[in-house]
Structure 1
């Protein structure tokens, strides 16, 4: 709008007392509503990607090792897969330490596969690294193979007392999962 002097004056009908125009307020309100709608829409999508309660419950396993005698192994379940917990005898530890690293396909010492000060406790997944069969050797009277560890009946992979691959088609040693001793009689896997 022009005044009598010819100067253009701004229209004051859209300007409030604090100088914010109605159009600016509508733009801010629309952007805020769209942002809130986006968050409300994405929240269920993001939350459905979180693991369910049964998966979280299976993410760790506690094993009581108080009744496992030296030379004995047990089978447990960890994430729906077999888990071997073995209490090695001093003889088995000596046999594992005596193997030259040059003879191993996947060289690892027993100390690398166990916790410091707990070398007698060998904890591995009970899944052959060849095709996923469950090796024998953890149950009473099962065939432990020519190296005294575990033997996979599917294709003949043989593991030594430190669960290292020694013979057969398996490419790597039995996997050692993450674990910790929560007490002298309980180990927490996962």
Structure 2
């Protein structure tokens, strides 16, 4: 997984103003604990406000979870260029505004530019789109980014692992995102098939009947 220069591979994490910045916080916290990749963070202007409203944290506190935090207006940052090697980018959560910008190549800040770079360089771009219900415009934009090579990964909760807490649900979404980049983790128990019922024990009467 290491780059040719011996450094850890880079993963870009974009955070937009969609509801549920907890998704990004859990992802960044998990990546920090794993320590296998270098994280690059870009937060939109709206993300700053949503983080404050929904988590009570300051954006600076979230930035402390990554290795490098880039100002959204720094279009000269290295991740704005395809020559900067990365595993790709995860936009978590991804607002419908950001989805629309990526779908139509409207790169007006570093977050959307970094996403555009991933598409043009054929690198993995994962969009954890967060909205419900979805309009026809939203769906068409999802089709457009998928055709361009992105992966639309709505943070839909799963229940086969029998989650007992909100953290269990967040961990599942984090794990699904990490899977897209081939990053090893143990965020959630994987489906192993239905549980086998216990083998019935034959009584002495059963043997006699046979």
TM-score category, normalised to shorter length: under 0.3
Q: Of Structure 1 and Structure 2, which has the larger fraction of its residues in helix?
A: 2
Q: Of Structure 1 and Structure 2, which has the larger fraction of its residues in strand?
A: 1
Q: TM-score, normalised by structure 2?
A: 0.21
Q: TM-score, normalised by structure 1?
A: 0.23
| Largest Rg, 1 or 2 | 1
